[in-house]
Amino acid sequence: MTLKHSIHILLLISPMSLLAQSETIDTENWWASPGVVGTLVLVSLIMVVAILIMIIRLNGYITGLNERKHLKQRLEFSEELTNLEQADIDLILEKRKQSLNYKLKGTELGSDYEASDSKGLIQAVTNEPDNPIVDEKKRAAEALETPKKLKHLIIFYLGAAVFWLVFGTLVGQYLGMKFIWPELDSISWLSFGRLRPVHTNAVFWGWASLAMFGLGYFVIARTSNTEIYKYKWGWYAFVLINLAVLIGTLCLMSGINNGGAEYREYIWPVMALFALGLIINFWNYYKTIANRKISEIYVSNWYLLGAMVWTMVLVLIGYLPFYQNGLGETVIQGYYMHQGVGMWFMTFTLGLIYYYLPASLNKPIYSYSLGVLAFWTQMLFYTMIGTHHFVFSPLPWWLQTVAIVFSAGMFIPVVAGTTNFLMTMKGSFHQISKSYVLPFFLVGVVFYFVGSTQGSFQAFRFTNYIWHFTDFNVAHSHMTMYGIITFILWACIYAILPRLTGKEPPQLLVGAHFWLAFIGLFAYMISLMAGGTLKGLSWVEGLPFIESVIMMKQYWVSRAIGGTLMFVSHLLFAYNFYLMVQQKAILKRPMKSSLDLKESKTHV
C-alpha cells in the first residue's frame, strides 16, 4: 500500500519537477554558482567558524592563565601564613580587635564643614543637571602648538573641501531624484547626462582631494618635526585645484567634456590646472619631508608621496593622446578609472590613517612592517586590475584575465592594512563609546575590508556576469568612495580640527552626522545591491529591457531616501565645521561664575 502510494506520488511529482527545473535553470544556477552567493556564504561560514574557534580558544587560554595565577597566589598566601612570626600574629590580632570595636557616629555622610576644592579638581558645577540624550564623549586633547600659517592653510583646504562635498552631493541627490521623476526639469545644463560627471568629479577632485591635501599638510609637518617648505606653494595649489573643479563643472554643464570617459570628463586644459596643483603640492611635501629632523621616514609619508607620484603618472598616461584611438582608449580607461581610485584616493587616505588613527588613540601603529608590505603590494596589485571593468568586452582576453587574477591578489594589501588598523585599535575598543572620532575610523576601516573584498569578488567572471552594467556598480563605488574614503576623512577632520582651533562641535551634532551618514549609506548600498542583482537576473532570463527599469523603481526610491539622509548629514557636518573654525568663541565649556559656585554649595 505504502509502496504504491509513494510510486504514485513519485509519478506525480517527477514530470512537474523536471519541467520546473528546465524553466528556472538559469536563475537557480546563478544563485547557486560559486561566484555569487556560494563564495560569500562559504567565506562568511569560514569566518564565523574561525571567529568561533578563536573565541573558544582564547577563552580557554585565558581561563587557564587565570587558574594558574590563582593557584600561585593561593600557594604564596599559605606559605606566608606558615612563615609568620609570633609578634606579627599578635599585631594582626590587635588590629582586628580595634576594628571590631569601631562604632558609627552618624555624621559620616554629611557634616557642618564647608565644602572646598583646594586642588581645583572641579571644572564645572551646576545646580540644574540637564539630562543629555547620549553620554558625553571625551573631549579633544589640549590644543596643539601649530604654526599659525599651517593652521590657516589646513583650514582653507578643508573649508573648500566641505563646500565641494555639499555641492557635489547636492548634485548627486538631485540626480538620484531624476531616476524617480525624470521630468524634474528640462534645462540642458541640468540634464542627467551632463550633471552626472559634475557630481563624480566634484566629490573626487573637489571634496576628497582637497581634504586629503589639507590633512596631509599637517601629517608631513608633524611627522617630520619641521616647518612646511613653502606655505605660498600650498596656496598656489589651493587656487589651482579649486579653479580646476570650478571651470570643470561649468564646462561639463555646458556640454564640453573630454569624451565621456568616467573621471576623465574634464578636458585636458582643465585637468592640467589640477595636475599643476598636484605637482606643486608634491614638491612642497617632498621638500618638507626632505627637511625632516629624524632620520626615518614615517610610513604615512610613504603613502602620501607614493600617491602623489603615482597620480602624476596616471594623469599623464590618461591624457596623452598617442595610443588612445579605437580600443586603445578603452584599455587606458580601465587603467585610469581604477587607479584614480586606488592609487590616489585609497593610497593617500591609507597614509592619513597611519598617522591620525594612532595619534587619536595615543599609541603607536601596530606594525610598521605590515604598513610597508601593504604599500608595495598596493602598487603591484592595484595597478594591474583596471581591465576588470571590461570583462567579456572586446578587450584582449589576457588583459581581462590578468585583471581578474590580480583582483584576487588585492586581498593581500587589504588584509595587511585592515589587520594593522584593527590591531592598533585592539585594547582601545572601549574608547569607541567614549569618543566621537573613533566610530568614524572604525566604520572606515571595516568598509576598507568589506568594500575592497567585495570589489575583488565582483571582478570574478561569474559575478561580473550578473552584476556588470547594473546599479550594483554604483553601490560598490559608494561603498568605497563614501564608506572608506569619506568616513576616514571625517574621522581625521574631527580628530585634528578641534586640536588646531581649540573649538569643539557639539557632540550631539557629530553623533547625528555619523548616524545619518552611516544609515543613509547602508540604505543606499543595500537597495542598489538588491536591485542590481535582480536587474542582472532579469537580463539573464532574457526579459524585455523595460521590465528591469520598471522593477528598479522601488529600489531607486529607497536609494533616494538613503541619499537624502547622507546629504542631510553633510549639512550637519558643514555646520560642525563652521563651529570648529569660526573666530568667535561661543562654544567654550560652560564655565559657571564664582557666584554660581557659592550658590550651589548647599547641594554639594
Partner 1 sequence: MFDIHKNHRNLVVLALLGFLILSLGVAIFPAYQSQNNTEPLPQMEPMSEVELRGLQLFIKEGCVACHTQQVRSIEMDKTWGSRPSIPSDYYYSKQRMDIWRQSPSLLGSERTGPDLTSIGNRQPSEEWHLLHLYNPRIVVPESIMPSYPWMFEEKVNPDEDEKVLSVSDEFKRKGTEIIPTRDALDLVAYLQSLKQAPLTGQQPEFIPSARKKQEGINTSDKQGKDLLPDGKNLYMSTCSACHQAEGTGLPGAFPSLSGSSVVNDEDPEMLVRIILQGYDARPEFAQMPGFADQLSDAEIAAIANHERTNWGNDAPEITEEEVRKIRNFVINQTQ
Q: How many CB atoms lie within 10 A of CB 399?
A: 18
- Pick from 223, 257, 281, 435 the residue near partner 1 by CB under 8 A: 257
- Among 399, 414, 413, 417, CA closest to 354: 417
Radius of gyration of the chain (CA): 30
**Of residues 447-476, which lie at the interface with partner 1 (CB under 8 A)?**
465, 468-471, 473-474
- Pick from 125, 272, 402, 568 the residue near partner 1 by CB under 8 A: 402
Q: From the CB of 352, what's the least distance to partner 1, in Å?
A: 17
**Of residues 490-509, which lie at the interface with partner 1 (CB under 8 A)?**
none
Instruction: Map grid coordinates 572606515 to a residue.
Output: 444
H runs (alpha helix) in 115-266: 148-178, 192-201, 209-224, 231-253
Q: From the CB of 532, what's the least distance to partner 1, in Å?
A: 10
For residue 123, what are the contacts with CB-CB under 8 A and spacing of at least 6? 589
Q: Nearer Cβ to partner 1, position 86 or 186?
A: 186
Q: Nearer Cβ to partner 1, position 429 or 469?
A: 469
- Letter string b/e over residues 544-556, b meaning 16 or more CB atoms within 10 A of that residue's CB: eeeebeeebeebb
259 binds partner 1 (CB under 8 A): yes
Please check whether residue 294 is in contact with residue 225, taking contact to mean a CB–CB distance below 8 angstroms: yes
Q: Nearer Cβ to partner 1, position 406 or 440?
A: 406
For residue 164, what are the contacts with CB-CB under 8 A and spacing of at least 6? 202, 203, 206, 207, 210, 245
Q: From the CB of 344, what's the least distance to partner 1, in Å?
A: 12
Please check whether residue 466 is in contact with residue 391, taking contact to mean a CB–CB distance below 8 angstroms: no
Q: How many CB atoms lie within 10 A of CB 257?
A: 20
**Of residues 16-75, which lie at the interface with partner 1 (CB under 8 A)?**
22-23, 25-26
Of 50-58, 110-118, 251-259, 561-569, which segment contacts partner 1 by CB under 8 A?
A: 251-259
383 binds partner 1 (CB under 8 A): yes
Q: From the CB of 317, what's the least distance to partner 1, in Å?
A: 6
CA angle at 140 for the pair 135 and 145, rounded to the nearest 5°: 170
Please check whether residue 357 is in contact with residue 424, taking contact to mean a CB–CB distance below 8 angstroms: yes
269 binds partner 1 (CB under 8 A): yes
For residue 577, what are the contacts with CB-CB under 8 A and spacing of at least 6? 158, 159, 162, 493, 497, 505
For residue 450, what are the contacts with CB-CB under 8 A and spacing of at least 6? 479, 483
Of 121-129, 150-158, 288-296, 596-604, which segment contacts partner 1 by CB under 8 A?
A: 288-296
526 binds partner 1 (CB under 8 A): no
**Of residues 530-559, which lie at the interface with partner 1 (CB under 8 A)?**
539-547, 549-550
Backbone angles phi, psi at 388, to 5 degrees: -65, -5
- Pick from 177, 379, 508, 574 the residue near partner 1 by CB under 8 A: 379
Q: Nearer Cβ to partner 1, position 233 or 283?
A: 283
Residue 502 φ/ψ region, left for φ over 0, alpha for ψ in the -120 to 50 degree band, beta for the rest? left
Of 53-61, 159-167, 231-239, 374-382, which segment contacts partner 1 by CB under 8 A?
A: 374-382
Of 151-159, 396-404, 446-454, 587-595, which segment contacts partner 1 by CB under 8 A?
A: 396-404
Q: From the CB of 542, what's the least distance to partner 1, in Å?
A: 7
296 binds partner 1 (CB under 8 A): yes
225 binds partner 1 (CB under 8 A): no
Q: Applying CB under 8 A, what is the total number of residues that bind partner 1?
A: 95
Q: Nearer Cβ to partner 1, position 169 or 360?
A: 169
**Of residues 163-202, which lie at the interface with partner 1 (CB under 8 A)?**
178-179, 182-183, 186, 188, 191-194, 196-197
CA angle at 259 for the pair 255 and 260, rounded to the nearest 5°: 80
- Pick from 61, 392, 515, 578 the residue near partner 1 by CB under 8 A: 392
Q: Nearer Cβ to partner 1, position 310 or 518?
A: 310
**Of residues 300-339, which lie at the interface with partner 1 (CB under 8 A)?**
301-302, 305-306, 309-310, 313-314, 317, 319, 321-333, 335-336
